[in-house]
A and B are shown apart, each in its own frame.
Chain A
Amino acid sequence: MTRATAVGARSNPVEHLAVFGGRPAFAEPRPIGQLFTPDVERFLALARPAVEQGRLSNGALVLRLEQQLAEFHGVRHCVAVANAAFGLTMLLQRFGRGRPGEVILPAFSYRGLPHFARIAGQSPRFCDVEERTHGLDPRAVERALGPQTSAILAVCNYNSPGDIDGLCAVARAAHVPILFDSVYAVGASYRGRRLGAFGAAEVYSLHATKLLNGFEGGYVTTDDGNLAAVLRWQRDESADAPPADAVLGTNARLGELHAAMALLSLESFDAIVSGNRRRFAAYAAMCARLPGLRLVPVEAGSNCSMAVVDVSSPWPLTRDEMVTVLRAEGAAIAAYYSPPLHRSVHCPPGYDVQVLPVAERLAARFLQLPVGELVSLDDIARLGDVLDLVARRGDAVAARLRRP
């Protein structure tokens, strides 16, 4: 049954929207994460020796994963960690060299970033981003740099790695280390080279909602052998003397069963990305017929792990109204990176908030659509039916939503 026939059966078609009491398009929520699930028998076969030998940590599976990820990214060193937050925090602590300082980071990004800077003993300094890549704007970084800067934390997004050359040039000129949070960009390339070895280090995630599912986990890639040694010392809570001044150790080890899961995900990398691209193409076709909804384009080589739409005129609803309407339909969607970090609860108290126009504009308009293994092409068609109805009856939907 198509939605069009269902709509025709009622006197007021907008009542078919779940937000007004109609039946939701999806009985089970459709998520915004990858949730790749490998074959359970293969996982059990990999996990069993680790369990039976009582070797749940510090074992062969983590070593194999590190080796395969280093090959995948074309880097000399990969250090697996308990999650990406540990990787970022350990690097920022290392670059802080035991002194308080500032970490330059994008205002339009993941809410964890300012917290990681602070736990590393540093203060976040929010910078504006580029309209097209959503990554740090090198000119904004240049203006924010100073003697207080301890590191630049740039983000490679799912749609684009950003201006890596421009950012690295600014960092080099200022003698400040730059690292990349490449969590959403796994597999993407910049100027013909797969991400992994840019800047001092790159950090990736193995969280279930990310492209490579290791239950939870992360890893750092780098060509710098000394930095890799520092990271391993930080991660392994070693009794040996620290390899550098003022570095702090912790336990950031990735468990063996998590590594087993990640190994199976990595093996399926191509299939996962192909599935994402099919869904992305379906969303692109859907948006092409809906004036005011623009699917944010991705650069060639993107893993298409997200689908984000830019909601603007003549679309009849605001971005936030879209969140309300589509959540009611069972789409577990979210506003994308909104509010921007400098205007959010994640901004430290007392921070001198400046206007960052691009970040503020993007944060007001972007909507993240359902993606991942639990979203079928049929699901996208159903979502398209809902949006067709909104487009056709826009004035009525908007009026009813805004009724006091």
Chain B
Amino acid sequence: MNEPMAWPQVEEAVRGIFARRYFANNGPLVRQLDAGLAAALGVGHAVCVTNGTAALTLLAMAVARSGEVVVPPDAPRSTIDALRWAGLVPTSAVSASAVAVVDVLGEGKVAASEPSLPLLVDARAVSPRRVAGLGAAFSLESMNAGEGGFITTDDAALAGRLRTMRNFHPSETFADVDVRTNAKMSEMQAALGLIALENLRAAR
């Protein structure tokens, strides 16, 4: 297991949250983590959500709500199920009704290549990095920061859809979307994410 977080950093963050009494709903720490991850990874946008699997489902749902999605032949069940939640049908062969390709990083699993389709990346098992493709889903657990996840993309329109879809708040509505859900990250989760991000920067 990785090193646990240093307690003083966590304590300071908790005191800040309690003083602000801002606990959830895309608060200041979530916005800071969205921006910090995007800057650290050199991507256009990072959209934080409650965990990495929710990130993958939301990413898929923001790209398509029906059709087949091409996955590696030995893709893990959690990848398959995350895509099914989005309304997609995972398959290992490229067909005419395919709407996207999903690669799974960390286990050497690559889907059949199809350059005409958008590439989504299940990057939950690897540490955050810049990857090729339209969008990628990461887990904060890979940074030892507990539950939490985020999506990276260089596509501003996709990021706007994701920021809309992760919650129901009228003031957090940036795009017309078909479905929304609650996949919000809390301020406590974001605080742990920010500490992990700081540690990652220091280690580099």
Contact = CB atoms under 8 A, between A and B. Distances in A.
Contacts of A43: 14, 18
A56 B81 CA distance: 24
B25 to A, nearest CB: 8
Interface in A240-268: 248-251, 253-258, 261
Given A83-B182, A257-B146, A251 B14 contact: no
A89 interface: yes
Nearest to A89: B181
A170 interface: no
A119 interface: yes
Contact of B52 (A85, A215, A251): A251
B148 to A, nearest CB: 8
Interface stretch (B2-10, B114-122, B128-136, B154-162): B2-10
**Looking at chain A's contact residues, is the secondary structure mostly helix, strand, loop, or mixed?**
loop
Interface stretch (B40-48, B104-112, B184-192): B184-192
A114 to B, nearest CB: 9
Contact of A84 (B1, B77, B182): B182
Interface stretch (B67-75, B82-90, B94-102): B82-90
A51 B4 contact: yes
B53 interface: yes
Interface string A72-95: 000000000011111001000100
B186 A258 contact: yes
Nearest to A241: B77
A130 to B, nearest CB: 25
A121 interface: yes
A237 B52 CA distance: 12
Interface residues of B, number: 48
A343 interface: no
Contacts of B15: 40
B106 to A, nearest CB: 15
A215 B187 contact: yes
Interface core residue of B14, B87, B141, B178 (most chain A CB under 10 Å): B14
Contact of B180 (A40, A115, A216): A115
A264 to B, nearest CB: 11
A56 B186 CA distance: 14
A53 interface: yes
A213 B23 contact: yes
Contacts of A67: none
Contacts of B81: 237, 248-250
B24 A215 contact: yes
Given A47-B14, A54-B3, A208-B24, A83 B146 contact: no
Given A52-B4, A82-B147, A89-B181, A208 B23 contact: yes
Contacts of A289: none
Contact of A112 (B3, B24, B181): B181
A54 B180 contact: no
Given A40-B14, A207-B24, A255-B189, A119 B85 contact: yes
A53 B144 CA distance: 11
A250 B187 CA distance: 22
A175 interface: no
Contacts of B3: 54
B152 interface: no
A300 to B, nearest CB: 30
Contacts of B187: 215
Nearest to B82: A250
B84 A248 contact: yes
Interface string A111-126: 1100110110100000
Contact of A51 (B1, B5, B50, B51): B5
Interface string A302-334: 000000000000000000000000000000000
A112 B183 CA distance: 12
Contact of B147 (A47, A56, A112, A249): A56
Contacts of B11: 44, 48
Interface core residue of A37, A82, A207, A249 (most chain B CB under 10 Å): A82
Interface of B: 1-5, 7, 10-11, 14-15, 18, 21, 23-25, 50-54, 57, 61, 77-78, 81-82, 84-85, 87, 141, 144-147, 168, 178-189, 192
Given A82-B50, A237-B53, 7 more contacts: A44-B11, A51-B10, A53-B4, A86-B182, A89-B181, A208-B23, A251-B54
- Across the A-B interface, give the 3 residue pairs with the lowest CB-CB distance, nearest first: A56-B146, A54-B4, A208-B23
Interface of A: 35, 37, 40, 43-44, 47-48, 51-54, 56-57, 82-86, 89, 93, 111-112, 115-116, 118-119, 121, 207-209, 213, 215-216, 237, 239, 248-251, 253-258, 261, 349, 374
